[in-house]
Amino acid sequence: MENSDNKNVIGLALGSGAAFGLAHIGVLHVLEKEKIPIGIVSGASIGALIAAMWGIGLSPREIENISGKLKKKLNIIKLLDFTFPISGILAGKRLRRFLRAILGDRTFEDLKIPVKI
C-alpha cells in the first residue's frame, strides 16, 4: 500500500478471539514505544473494537483502561443480545450503546488512523 506521498505504509490487521484479542493492546504498546508508524489498521470482532479505539486516537493505556472497566463493571454476557441468525447471532444493540458511551458520536471521518472493519 502507498500513501498520497507515494511512500510505502505499514498496515496492521487485528484479529478476533474475545479475551485473546486483548493481546492486541500489548502490540500497540510496542508499536508506539518503538515509534513504528502505522498508516492503516483493520480488525475483526474484538480486533475491530480495538482498531476503532486506536484509530480515534486513544492510547494503548487508555484502551487497556477501558478494557479493564469493561471486565470489572460489566458482565460481558450482559452486552450480548442474541438474535435469529440472519447475518450473525448477536443483534449488537447493547454493545453499540456501550461503545457509544466510550466513543461518542465519532465517525470514520474523525479517525486519526484510517480503520477498515
The tens digit of pLDDT for each residue in 70-86 reads 666 555 555 555 555 55
Q: Is the pTM of this model over 0.75?
A: no
What are the tens digits of pLDDT across the range 19-39? 777 899 999 999 999 999 999
Q: Would you say the C-alpha torsion 54, 56, 62, 63 has a positive or negative sign? A: negative
Q: What is the rounded CA–CA span in Å between residue 16 and residue 83?
A: 20
- 50 contact partners, CB below 8 Å, separation of at least 6: 14, 21, 22, 24, 25, 28, 43, 63
Neighbours of 115 (CB within 10 A): 21
